[in-house]
Structure 1
Amino acid sequence: MRAKSVKWWIYHILVGGFAVLMLYPVIWLLMSSFKPSNTIFTTAQSLIPHPWVWTNFLDGWKGIGGNSFGLFIKNTAVLVILTMIGQIISCSVIAFGFARLEFKGKAFWFAVMLVTLMLPNEVVMVPQYILFSKFGWLNSIKPLVVPGYFGQPFFIFLLVQFIRTIPRELDEAATIDGCNTFSIFSRIIVPLIKPALATIAIFSFYWSWDNLLGPVLYLNSPTKYTVSMALNMFLSNESVSNWGAMFAMSVVTLIPVLVVFFIFQRSVVEGISTSGLKG
């Protein structure tokens, strides 16, 4: 019993120390949001703020250029929701086609989809910008939202693997009962892949919420900026950067991410495991 107790303490001390090490950047960010801007990066300043500057949150919420930070959060929320809906719908339909339907060139198009998954974003960045420029979509959220309605390779691959674990006998039974292809998809497949769809929604939320390069490329009007662009605006090369306000708003923007993670973390594990049903 004494040996087990010692092992228990050693294990929890090591795990707790590792957790503190991993969480230290977040703790440093939180503490820095309450410090004066001119003392954040000084070596003499300790981790605990002294004095505590609560006005950093008020100054940060005022925003930049007469636009409050609430406007940037609203813009980001609209972008995230539209992108998330588009990716869930398109990826589930495409994955169902690859996993369940038979059509000419199926293996070829699936391979093409996998190749696009391996392409770096920098390869397609310029062609996409030229294409969207010809469409007249610059300075709008269309270049950031519309591509999501044509599928995302990683999400499609994830759903294909998940659907393949669902017994085909369920499709055959539904066909005998008079269901067509759409009914099989909507009534049989979709309810069974909810964990994977939840995973897609969460990852889509994270990637869209944190995206900086896309909005920088396509958005020019400050009234359309996202939170990532707004945080970058607190930094200045010509004057003193407002580090305190930037860190304070960084903490604010972390809250939705943490809330979504802790609420849906079980769905993430279930979706990535692609367990499905055992036939």
Structure 2
Amino acid sequence: MVASTPAASRRRSGLGRGVVRTAILLLILAVVLYPLIWMVGTSFKGQTEIVSNTGVLPGDFTPGNYTDGWNHFDVSFSRFFLNSAMVALLTVIGNAASCLVAAYAFARLRFPLRGFWFAVMIGTLLLPQHVLTIPQYILFKQFGWVGGEWPYIPLLVPQFLATEAFFVFLMVQFMRGIPRELDEAAKIDGASPFGIFRYVMLPLSRPALVTTAIFSFIWTWNEFFRQLVYLSDLSDYTIPVAMTLFIDSTGQSAIGPMFAMSVLSLLPVFLFFVAFQRLLVEGINTSGLKG
């Protein structure tokens, strides 16, 4: 019998740990993905089977839920997709532009009470969004923005005013990691503060901008409460608000079509995340760990 060498023992031990680690990760993945898989399976079940069959696979394959859900209302579900896409994309543009400018001021410029105003901005993170809803609604009502010809103004205008303190803080942390020698070199070349922002900070802030864009898109696409408050006409509804209409006050429900539209509503977020996943991880790594 040939005795095993220490190197062979270490290889077997490392292989065993790798197998165990892979099994644990697969188990965690299965637990995390189970609700999503169940939702996809339920979207192909009939109305009565959804209640009786709690398994993943449908007993009676019903693809008609997708056509029924798409045409369930007087307005096609494509209108809700367009409304959500418009609000989400404009929010991404507003957050990225306004938060970048505000972050540049806090991170690079000198002005009176800069530390105080930065602390006030960070303090707004402690306020629940629901606490601000009533004062904002009253203010926007006085401006004539609520119930106007374009009902999305209350949802979009704040995004162009750097009201998202989380993204401002994220970009400030990122900019603080950029060497100030680059600013000094730009000043020697005759660059103004705007020139430094345009030619130095803006190109180098790409990871933070991408992170802000991804989170803004996902959060806005899934947002429900503020959109429910400000949107009143069916043709103006976004997807989260429209989903509530599948279950009405009389108890009548269309659960199958609702699950089918839920699956379709996840596709833009999933594709957006997959397309920018690498940049998202890079942005979090380079933005959140510097200060």
Normalising by structure 1, we get a TM-score of 0.95
Give unpaired runs (5+ residues) of structure 2.
1-10
Deviations 1:206-265 (A, max 9, x none): 111001101110011000000001111111231421011010010001001111111111
Identity, % of aligned positions: 44
> Counterpart amino acid of 2:155?
L
Partner in structure 2 of residue 9 of structure 1: 19
1:249 to 2:257 alignment: no
> How much has 1:45 moved relative to structure 2?
4.5
Give unpaired runs (5+ residues) of structure 1.
none
8 Å contact from structure 2 (residues 104, 175) kept in 1? yes
**d(CA) in 2 for partners of 1:156, 1:50:** 50
> How much has 1:2 moved relative to structure 2?
2.9
**d(CA) in 1 for partners of 2:78, 2:110:** 48
Normalising by structure 2, we get a TM-score of 0.91
Matches within 5 A, 1:100-179: 100-139=108-147, 140-151=151-162, 152-179=164-191
8 Å contact from structure 2 (residues 41, 56) kept in 1? yes
Secondary structure of the equivalent of 2:276?
Answer: helix
1:70 is aligned, of 78, 86, 91, to: 78
Matches within 5 A, 1:181-192: 181-192=193-204
Matches within 5 A, 1:42-61: 42=52, 44-61=53-70
> How much has 1:274 moved relative to structure 2?
2.5
Q: Which has the greater radius of gyration?
A: 2
The CA RMSD measured in Å over matched residues stands at 1.4
Q: Structure 1: which 4+ aligned runs deviate by more than 4 Å?
A: none
Larger mean CA deviation between 177-186 and 264-273 belongs to 264-273
> Counterpart amino acid of 1:236?
D
Deviations 1:25-48 (A, max 9, x none): 000100000001222132x45321
Larger mean CA deviation between 4-13 and 107-116 belongs to 4-13
Secondary structure of the equivalent of 2:178?
Answer: coil
Aligned residue pairs, count: 275
Secondary structure of the equivalent of 1:12?
Answer: helix
> Counterpart amino acid of 1:53?
T
